[in-house]
Chain A
C-alpha cells in the first residue's frame, strides 16, 4: 500500500481565495482524520470520519472550513475564504478503528501559506 496520500504538498494562495486539500486514505481503513499543525497550537484534530460519515467536527475552527468524504478512498478539506491565520501544515491520517491498536497512519501533509 502506498500509505496515506495527500495533495498538494505545498499550497500558496492569496487571502480570500478558496483552498482545497485532498487525501486518499489507506484502503480498508474505516476512519479518516484531518489535523492542523502550527507552532502555536501544536497538532489539532479538526474532524474525523467513520465509513465516510463525519463523526466529530468540533475541532473545525469556523464555518469557513468544511470537509467531505464522498467515498472510502477520497476526502477533501476546503477553506473558503482563506485567511493568513489559516497558514499551517494540514495532515490527513487514517486508521482501521477509532480506539486502535495500530495507531494512525499519517500522510506527509500539505503546507498551506495564505498571503
Chain B
C-alpha cells in the first residue's frame, strides 16, 4: 500500500540550530512528494514539492528537501531555525492518478 511515514512526532531545536525532519515513503514508483507546514490555528501551507529531476529542491522560508531513492526518503532541512518556524510539518506523497497521502505530522518546537 502507498504510504508516507514521519518517524518523529515531536522535535525540539534551539533557535539558530540546523533542522532535519524525516519522511519516508512507500510507493511502487517514484511519487510526487510534498512538504506542508501548519502554523497554530492555520491551514496547511505548501513549502516545497518534488516531481523529478534535481533531487534537492528549494522551498519557501529557507527550507529545502532532498529526495533519496535508495533510502525512500524525502527529508526536510533548514540550516538555521527561527522561532517563527515552530509549527507542525506534514510530508505528503501522491501519484499522477491518485490522491495525496499525508504523514502523521511532526511538531517542531523552537527554544530561544
A-side residues, CB < 8 A to B, are 4, 33, 42-43, 45, 48, 56, 91, 93, 98-109
Known: A43-B90, A45-B99, A99-B94. A106 touches B51 (CB 8 A): no
B74-109 to A contact mask, C-beta < 8 Å, 1/0: 000000000000000010101111111010110000
Cα distance, A49 to B46, chains bound together (Å): 21
Q: Output the nearest chain B residue to A6 by Cβ-Cβ distance.
A: B43
B-side residues, CB < 8 A to A, are 32, 34, 36, 41-46, 49, 51, 90, 92, 94-100, 102, 104-105
Q: Output the nearest chain A residue to B51 by Cβ-Cβ distance.
A: A101
Cα distance, A101 to B100, chains bound together (Å): 11
> Is the CB–CB distance between B43 and A42 below 8 Å?
no
Q: How far apart are A1's CB and chain B's nearest CB, in angstroms?
A: 15
Q: How far apart are A88's CB and chain B's nearest CB, in angstroms?
A: 14
Q: Which residues of A contact B46 (CB under 8 A)?
A: 103, 105
Q: Which residues of B contact A56 (CB under 8 A)?
A: 99
Q: Which residues of B contact A42 (CB under 8 A)?
A: 102, 104-105
Interface centre among A33, A99, A107, by most chain B C-beta atoms within 10 angstroms, is A99
Which residue in A45, A98, A105 is a CB contact (below 8 Å) of B97? A98
Q: Output the nearest chain A residue to B104 by Cβ-Cβ distance.
A: A42
> Is the CB–CB distance between A98 and B99 below 8 Å?
yes
